[in-house]
């Protein structure tokens, strides 16, 4: 901004742009008349647009928790982990009967439950209040999606909205999708016994993964493999996409960032790790799966599996 404010003294007018580049020096040079003029200018200028809510989307077991911990380590970030107000995983469990801070879950688990539209409206209203408060104090709200609830359970993923779709009518959004080689995430899903869809097969998993990518087809994709190979540059790129300030010392903080969903191999060291062992049957399944081949092609991964190298 280059508007000029009149200065009451003999010195030349003060460039308002000085405030952005050297705010303390600029204010030191301002007279009381300058400050009054600046106050009036700020009162009359158009209100700025809402700051965006940042959203991060990924499948389970794709390294999302590690990346989210990195995001939580950025300046003034508030990250909510594994968000999906329409998730059915906790319904009809003890969690839905005792959830004193979660009125959406209580209302959805009631004897006469609310419908999904009401749940979405409650969620967006709560995000509006939180976002407004965070915006006033200069904090940046980040929502980490629990896409597994929509795309990897018995839910009809086409019938219900994605997390981003729920928020889009209420807020500007800045979003990323993070991915990992589908064989690695599929193996980890199996190992964690998170077989929440049927049939539990590589073909079905890849079909659901493709549907997820289609729902976020215009969103920037970040590979987990690149993140662990070059964490600093990849985190810079993520922050650019999300319009977040970047903390070059974020890795020193990551050990104290604890989030839900930390299902992978433990440790705070960010480095590539070898693939888990897999069976010859999985090799055959991968070769026969059209959806898996399409998924690897779309994400730029090598679909071929070595029969001998990682045999169980």
pLDDT tens sequence for the chain (312 residues): 333 333 333 333 444 444 444 444 444 555 666 666 656 654 554 445 689 999 999 999 999 999 999 999 999 999 999 999 999 998 867 766 788 999 999 999 998 999 999 999 999 999 999 999 999 999 999 999 999 999 999 999 999 999 999 999 999 999 999 999 999 999 999 999 999 999 999 999 999 999 999 999 999 999 999 999 999 999 999 999 999 999 999 999 988 777 665 555 556 679 898 999 999 999 999 999 999 999 999 999 999 998 755 655
- C-alpha–C-alpha distance, residues 282 and 279, integer Å: 5
- The answer to whether 143 touches 55, Cβ cutoff 8 Å, is yes
Q: Which pLDDT score is estimated for 172? A: 97
The HSE-up count of residue 101 (CA atoms within 13 Å, CB side) is: 0
Q: Which pLDDT score is estimated for 241? A: 98
Q: Which pLDDT score is estimated for 108? A: 94
Q: What pairs with residue 178 in β-bridges?
A: 222
The HSE-up count of residue 206 (CA atoms within 13 Å, CB side) is: 24
Tell me the C-alpha to C-alpha distance, in Å, between residue 239 and each of 117, 166, 233: 32, 23, 10
- The answer to whether 142 touches 71, Cβ cutoff 8 Å, is yes
| Angle CA 287–59–181, to nearest 5 | 40
Q: What pairs with residue 154 in β-bridges?
A: none
Q: Which pLDDT score is estimated for 296? A: 98
Q: Pairing relation of β-strands 53-57 and 77-83?
A: unpaired
Q: Which pLDDT score is estimated for 3? A: 36
Instruction: For residue 6, give both structure tokens.
Output: 């009149």
Q: Which pLDDT score is estimated for 273? A: 87
Q: Which pLDDT score is estimated for 1? A: 37
Residues 6+ away with beta carbon under 8 Å from 196: 89, 148, 152, 153, 154
Residues 6+ away with beta carbon under 8 Å from 117: none
């Amino acid at each position: 901004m280059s508007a000029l404010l009149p200065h009451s003294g003999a010195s030349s007018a003060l460039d308002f742009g000085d405030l952005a580049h050297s705010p303390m020096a600029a204010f030191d040079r301002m007279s009381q008349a300058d400050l009054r003029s600046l106050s009036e200018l700020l009162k009359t200028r158009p209100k700025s647009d809402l700051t965006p809510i940042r959203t991060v989307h990924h499948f389970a077991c794709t390294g999302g928790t590690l990346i989210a911990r990195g995001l939580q380590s950025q300046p003034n970030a508030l990250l909510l982990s594994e968000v999906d107000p329409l998730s059915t995983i906790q319904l009809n469990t003890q969690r839905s009967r005792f959830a004193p801070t979660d009125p959406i879950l209580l209302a959805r688990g009631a004897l006469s439950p609310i419908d999904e539209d009401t749940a979405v409206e409650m969620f967006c209203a709560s995000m509006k209040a939180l976002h407004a408060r965070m915006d006033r104090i200069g904090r940046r709200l980040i929502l980490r999606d629990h896409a597994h609830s929509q795309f990897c359970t018995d839910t009809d993923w086409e019938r219900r909205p994605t997390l981003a779709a729920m928020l889009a009518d209420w807020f500007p959004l800045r979003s990323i999708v993070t991915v990992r080689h589908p064989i690695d995430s599929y193996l980890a899903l199996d190992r964690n016994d998170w077989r929440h869809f049927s049939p539990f097969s590589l073909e079905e998993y890849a079909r659901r993964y493709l549907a997820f990518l289609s729902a976020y087809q215009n969103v920037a994709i970040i590979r987990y493999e690149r993140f662990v190979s070059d964490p600093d540059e990849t985190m810079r790129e993520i922050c650019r996409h999300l319009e977040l300030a970047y903390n070059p010392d974020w890795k020193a903080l990551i050990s104290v960032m604890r989030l839900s969903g930390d299902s992978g191999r433990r440790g705070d060291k960010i480095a590539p790790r070898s693939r888990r062992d897999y069976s010859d049957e999985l090799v055959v399944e991968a070769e026969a799966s059209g959806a898996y081949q399409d998924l690897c092609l779309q994400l730029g991964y090598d679909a071929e599996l070595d029969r001998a190298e990682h045999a169980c």
